[in-house]
Structure 1
């Protein structure tokens, strides 16, 4: 019988629960350390009430040695629990690193507001919290009643005084939580948005500088920055106010506990040694609560990071590792596909249906804004908001494990993204570099001779985002990457946009070679030179299929339509059936 959903743990909670033995061990070491914290109190009592009265140096030596031994055990327990928590933090990162990496990239493709960097920052924040001082307050707090019980043993008045201060500090912690959560989260969000806005503009620094746009963009960034500063100032003001009240309560507690002890000594109810010990003991009893107040902001940040990570892992679950499919052949089917985008009232693709047989070349044509690039992304399964069916060999493309499917797909986006590394690493998709496959892909893309002219050949570094290459070179390296490993389905989005005549001729030969090898090719273009190798044409207009079929049939129909539009009214135009 399955458990109710109330008792079902999230993936992140399950991972943390898997470290319960480590946390229990930390709790045991915390118990030892906190119990031995009574050693200074007992030592003071013995020194003031026994050694000072008996004047026995031997008793003082024995008590000092015993106390030093207990201090050694306490220090060992403190060191062990710190070391265990640090090791647990590393294991937590190891257990979740790959999952967060994969889920964060999926969320970024899904146009989520938080990207991979934010997700890893959340993981680091959780790891730092469970290895920092804040977590010790939660392990030490359950032992505060023991110290308070000892205070009651010394005198009930001291016990009730410690309870009163504990309640005041707990109220302050609750007040701080209620007042600080929302401002801290808003400040963190605004700071992140301001930083992300600036980073996105720095990626296009050359364009901004060349056209004098930096000055125009500064006010837009300044508005975001000033908003973040105002929210940070408000959150920090609350933090400082609560910290000031916490200090006042702590100092008042130290002084009033000493004054109460002195009053009891005057009345003869406790000894001077008990007065000093009670002061130290009360400070120790309230230290965990005081530490909670001091680390409350870190706790709020860690809790927010936990909630975001929990949502991320829930929305983008791990693929079934045991699921393995037969290698696809490249047959692609779209059924009533509708692709939308946030902030857009009408869909980009409006019920597109088509069938692409394996081993054929389909060229997608259409005016700008007709949805060609969106169609290309939909075909490889990376457009986030899609309804309808995109089937690869009869199976939904989103059901494939991307790591398993990746080698069978080749994709060249309109905006070429290369990565810092060598030419060979980029062509090999940053996997294990197979020299034969890299050279074969470069030859197919007409790139081999050009690469050999570079100083280090295939080992030539290309810089961040391929900044050391021209647009045409980046496009041809992207093409070689797309066909690396002989994928069965290749989708090329404007592959000849930056190519000269020689490059376009090499592209035609590449597509012809893929066709002869029985690979499925979908090619988005505006230029007619590539039509010679096309088997089918798919023409889009305003997100809808205007024409779809064999190349010659579609071209004949288009010519007939153009002729009819150009003919004078009343003139009949004969159109031969395909």
Structure 2
């Protein structure tokens, strides 16, 4: 059976968890110190009136309790360390799964990081310690039985009663907590959508409607949470009543047995203390059962996620790409759909060449761009870079030699420097070089703190053109050998388009291959070839002048009638 990163991580934690279980054994043995001390004081010291014996017993008891406290602390620290290690060890694999699931369009995405946090919280928190202490409940009950069967019956009956309440608490609140969690997640997603689309929502007056959606989900979450809390509070209150009643019952039964001379007064006190220790894990189960259940559910979901095929299986590292692109009979359809968005697309781009992809809206141009950089995998056919399928390249290996400017520019919260450096270890010289290639160095220097300027979530502190030019600089980091740009001039002014054309020319001179999804004709000045897409089918591919003449119905050797200011989409429809 294939072992996943989750399996390996949990297996690596096993020795430390077993060590924590061993600490629990010692701690629970030392918990008997109080019972033994009380028995000796009541049955021996008070009868002998020996101060020396009392002092010796007290010192021994304090020493035992001190050792217990230190071991208990070590156990807690060990559990905390294991939880943190597991989260750090699995953080990257889980994040890779999240990104892969998002690319594949799967439902279980960002919740995976929350599940990892739940697993870490379970291991680091008191719930795991409670499970370690639970096996000692029958041992403590057996010790109470050794003192006297009547006392044992009282302790056992109380334990079963509290356990029944814990089970009832779980049965009565589990479904409510589940519905509350689902509704709370829906409410959080509404807020996230509002933050991502704040300008559109404000401009179109959608705030009220968005607020109603959030309010509906939040109300559902609150109602289910309140119902579960009311039921849980009732059962917790009942358990406290039973717990205190049991303490009175065992002392009363013990006093009755002392009067009948069946046990000593020391045994009566020891039974009370030991029963209290036996009931502690049962009581804790009522408040921590939810954490245990959440951790089990989180593990099951993570196991299911890791059991699915990887979007990008690990491969042997390859050299940085040189830029030779080959697209071979590529077709693509959305998962679950039989209608292809691309059908039989075939072309080549050699190092030092630039190709423009043009066509009407919904022709499949942006889909093709995603396939070229390996973000999506073709339904059939293959996209090769230097002879290797791009979908099988290790992403970090591939990223060393490619640049990608998507249609929808996404910048991360942080500084200008962080975004150009792709949050990596790029040197200042490499960052400035990329900015100069994109023609944004002077623009960046004009910002408040230059390259250290905070741009906000998604680059909200920048204009659309500034965001696009900054994303272009990010794509050009370390002079990539293969660059894909999806409508790179959509938000650019004349100065920005001039910088873009200069960047394309510089890439060609350095031997890089460039694919540009073109919407405006100005970018065509620097390309060598043009590919025309319509309804997912490649209608034409060849040298720029030849393809444009064919699109305009001009015979070879004649001058094209299309002016450079005409929209490309309009020409593609003719």
Query: Structure 2-normalised TM-score?
Result: 0.89
Structure 2 residues without counterparts, runs of 5 or longer: 556-574
CA shift digits 1:489-527 (9 cap, x unpaired):
100011111112222222222212222222111111221
CA shift digits 1:163-190 (9 cap, x unpaired):
3333333344444444444433332222
Instruction: Choose the corresponding residue for 2:521, options 507, 528, 552.
Output: 528
Structure 1: how far apart are the matches of 2:514 and 2:27? Answer: 68
Question: Is 1:401 the counterpart of 2:379 in the alignment?
Answer: no
What residue number does 2:422 align with? 429
What residue number does 1:199 align with? 192
For the Cα contact (< 8 Å) 2:84–2:124, is it kept in 1? no
What residue number does 1:51 align with? 45
Q: Offset of 1:448 from its aligned partner? A: 3.0
Question: Is 1:106 the counterpart of 2:100 in the alignment?
Answer: yes
CA shift digits 1:397-437 (9 cap, x unpaired):
12111111112110111122223333333222222233333
Specify the SS of the correspondent of 1:537: strand
CA RMSD of aligned residues (A): 2.8
Worse-matched range after superposition: 438-447 or 174-183: 174-183
For the Cα contact (< 8 Å) 2:377–2:391, is it kept in 1? no
Distance 1:291 1:424, change over 3 A: closer
Question: Is 1:482 the counterpart of 2:475 in the alignment?
Answer: yes
Q: Offset of 1:315 from its aligned partner? A: 3.5
For the Cα contact (< 8 Å) 2:355–2:514, is it kept in 1? yes
Distance 1:326 1:385, change over 3 A: closer
Query: Structure 1-normalised TM-score?
Result: 0.88
What residue number does 1:168 align with? 161
Specify the SS of the correspondent of 1:295: helix
Instruction: Choose the corresponding residue for 2:67, options 70, 73, 80.
Output: 73
Q: Offset of 1:140 from its aligned partner? A: 1.0
Worse-matched range after superposition: 237-246 or 338-347: 338-347
CA shift digits 1:353-387 (9 cap, x unpaired):
44333432121111122221122112111137855
Question: Is 1:246 the counterpart of 2:239 in the alignment?
Answer: yes
Structure 1: how far apart are the matches of 2:468 and 2:422? Answer: 15
Instruction: Choose the corresponding residue for 2:32, options 27, 33, 38.
Output: 38
Specify the SS of the correspondent of 2:360: coil
CA shift digits 1:459-518 (9 cap, x unpaired):
444333322322222211211211121111100011111112222222222212222222
Structure 2: how far apart are the matches of 1:233 and 1:342? Answer: 40
Q: Offset of 1:318 from its aligned partner? A: 10
Question: Is 1:544 the counterpart of 2:517 in the alignment?
Answer: no
CA shift digits 1:48-106 (9 cap, x unpaired):
22222223333222222221122112112211211222222232233223323333333
Structure 1: how far apart are the matches of 2:108 and 2:243? Answer: 40
Question: Is 1:376 the counterpart of 2:369 in the alignment?
Answer: yes
Worse-matched range after superposition: 300-309 or 519-528: 300-309
Structure 1: how far apart are the matches of 2:328 and 2:169? Answer: 55
Structure 2: how far apart are the matches of 1:235 and 1:156? Answer: 38
For the Cα contact (< 8 Å) 2:190–2:213, is it kept in 1? no
Question: Is 1:188 the counterpart of 2:188 in the alignment?
Answer: no
For the Cα contact (< 8 Å) 2:155–2:275, is it kept in 1? yes
For the Cα contact (< 8 Å) 1:187–1:235, is it kept in 2? no
Structure 1 residues without counterparts, runs of 5 or longer: 563-578
The 5-angstrom pairing of residues 555-566 of structure 1 reads 555-560=548-553
For the Cα contact (< 8 Å) 1:111–1:384, is it kept in 2? no
Specify the SS of the correspondent of 2:553: helix
What residue number does 2:439 align with? 446
Structure 2: how far apart are the matches of 1:427 and 1:542? Answer: 35
Q: Offset of 1:245 from its aligned partner? A: 4.1
Specify the SS of the correspondent of 1:225: helix
What residue number does 1:222 align with? 215
Structure 2: how far apart are the matches of 1:228 and 1:466? Answer: 33
Distance 1:340 1:132, change over 3 A: same
Q: What is the total number of aligned residue pairs between the two structures?
A: 556
Q: Offset of 1:114 from its aligned partner? A: 4.7
For the Cα contact (< 8 Å) 2:312–2:391, is it kept in 1? no
For the Cα contact (< 8 Å) 1:51–1:59, is it kept in 2? yes
Worse-matched range after superposition: 380-389 or 119-128: 380-389
Specify the SS of the correspondent of 2:538: strand
Specify the SS of the correspondent of 1:169: helix
CA shift digits 1:213-242 (9 cap, x unpaired):
212322222222222223323433443344
Question: Is 1:291 the counterpart of 2:291 in the alignment?
Answer: no
Distance 1:76 1:505, change over 3 A: closer
CA shift digits 1:319-361 (9 cap, x unpaired):
7778211332223333443434468774433444443334321
What residue number does 1:566 align with? none
